[in-house]
Structure 1
Amino acid sequence: MATSSEEKQAYQAKVKAQLDKLNAQIDELKAKAAQAKADAAIEYQSQMQELYVKRDAAQSKLAELQQSGEEAWEEIQAGFERAWNDLNSAFESATAKFK
């Protein structure tokens, strides 16, 4: 049974429409992936910035601790311990988000 030219053209148009729709869906998925990648990069940068701030605070407290006299040592030690704990918590949080 021979296929008419009209049937062939209709079938080709249908297949082309389906392919065009799939291409649009692929492009949409690609855009979503790029957005997710950008969002992840922003989150990563934010987490890294927080780590740098907390690391710098811990280093500052360590310098204070090293330069402190006997009478202020315990107070400065407590400040260093808090800064150290904040840094460790931020690091653990950041590594958990990016696993």
Structure 2
Amino acid sequence: MSEKNAYEQKLRAKLDELQAELDKMRAKARGAEADARIDQEKEVDRLEAKREEMREKLDELRNSSDDAWDDVKAGAERAWDSLSDSLEKARSRFK
């Protein structure tokens, strides 16, 4: 397996885990009181938008040539770092 394929599979697994966590957050938001529910649902919406951006980066990675994949990988890592930071902040608000 090439490094590119291994990295792609790793990102795909992380995105699947993230989606499961977002689903849990959305379910928890549904059970919150009205004001908190609105804020929590907005937060989950923002995270899902970032997750979609990450999925698009994964598509770019998958479709990149071997020569260009290092650049695409760097962009994907920046997007993942941003998503991870946002997720960490959201976790603290959902406790």
Report the count of equivalent residues: 64
CA RMSD, Structure 1 to Structure 2 (Å)? 1.5
Gaps of 5+ in 1: 1-35
Q: Which has the higher helix share?
A: 1
TM-score (normalised: structure 2) = 0.62
1:80 is aligned to 2:51:
no
Runs of 4+ deviating beyond 4 Å: none
Q: Does 1:47 align with 2:43?
A: yes
- Equivalent AA in structure 2 for residue 65 of structure 1: L
Matched with 2:93 is 97
- Say which of 44, 67, 72 aligns to 1:71: 67
Identity of aligned residues (%): 41
Q: Secondary structure at the match of 1:69?
A: coil
Whole-angstrom CA distance in 1 between matches of 2:69 and 2:92: 34
Larger radius of gyration: 1
Amino acid at match of 2:78: R
- Normalised by the length of structure 1, the TM-score is 0.60
1 or 2 for the larger relative contact order (CA 8 Å, sep ≥6)? 2
